Structure 1
């Protein structure tokens, strides 16, 4: 094997540039986190169904400035989010319990669908590497 054939692909080289988005009102999420989400099944089930139908298990988590994610618009969504892999979806009493593994930060380049289910073209951000500075640690 050559050294070139042993190189690993970067996450941004294999992640799709068009993804479904899920606005989150509570707090932002970062790569490396496992996130349990609880959301209204009636409102967000179509988004999860669209993801399944696209043969994907990836979703973009985007913080919204609105107090309720169900009432948000693309204008209230922050431009940087985190793509995550959906590991488990379970519905209980009209609520979806979704377990997501956060993978990579992205920047929204363009909205393809400005209504739910939201879809966007994204560009993945490279994580800082090298010496840990005060700014990177913060």
Structure 2
């Protein structure tokens, strides 16, 4: 255990390493993973974001993961329970395996950078109290019509670009990041697009559950269209004021 009076554990990782990790499939992922729930919304492959969890009860989980060679854990969406009871039955079975970087422990909280790698399916709970551990598998989408996938990919890119152009909340960095995607990167592009939206967690979980690529792209395109409708309405209202 890391004591409160010790310096935080910081593991440095460069931006280049994070970006490279997004594109590379990992063929050596473990069959058992520690699991941490997230209550705001599901986490997607192709995302690289900070995650903050309570020191208690998750410190031991992070410490154990940090000692593994793969430094991976599963993030599964679980709504904040009204009764405050942690039950694995309330966790979504489809989650995201992430590699943890830059772990910092301070004032009762632990923050780390989560680098999304791929979908993972919890098929068995091996330990149902923290540190949670599960037996997992990694679903692969079957090959689908390349031209249809490319067409959906172009539609998703166009929708994101329009959303970025009319919503001032999106930064120039995001625009630059978007330029790195292409219709040929359909799976990470689709997951990245889903993570951009303000859709309800349940709708985002449906996207995460969708392993078939075309089915997933259809769902994300609908979410983007809803996002665009709201953004256009806000823009129209602002112009009238």
TM-score, normalised by the number of residues in structure 1: 0.81
How many residues align? The count is 128
Other-structure match for 1:103: 117
Residue 57 (1) aligns with residue 71 (2): yes
Name structure 1 gaps, 5 residues minimum.
1-8
**Higher strand proportion (structure 1 or 2):** 1
Tell me which of 67, 90, 109 is aligned to 1:76. 90
Equivalent of 1:118 in 118, 132, 148: 132
2:33 match = 19
RMSD: 2.2
**1-structure distance, mates of 2:142, 2:110:** 34
User: Would you say 1:36 and 2:44 are equivalent positions?
Assistant: no
SS of match in other structure, 1:14: coil
How many angstroms does 1:55 deviate by? 4.0
List alignment gaps of at least 5 residues for structure 2: 1-23, 153-213, 220-241
Aligned to 1:136: 216
CA contact (8 A) 1:85 1:103 kept: yes
Runs of 4+ deviating beyond 2 Å? 52-56, 65-68, 127-136
- Contact preservation (8 Å) 2:56, 2:108: yes
On the 8 A contact 2:77/2:91 being kept in 1, the answer is yes
- Mapped to 2, the partners of 1:32 and 1:127 lie a distance apart of 16
Aligned equivalents of 2:132, 2:36: Cα separation in 1: 7
More helix as a share of residues: 2
How far off its partner does 1:18 sit?
Answer: 0.5
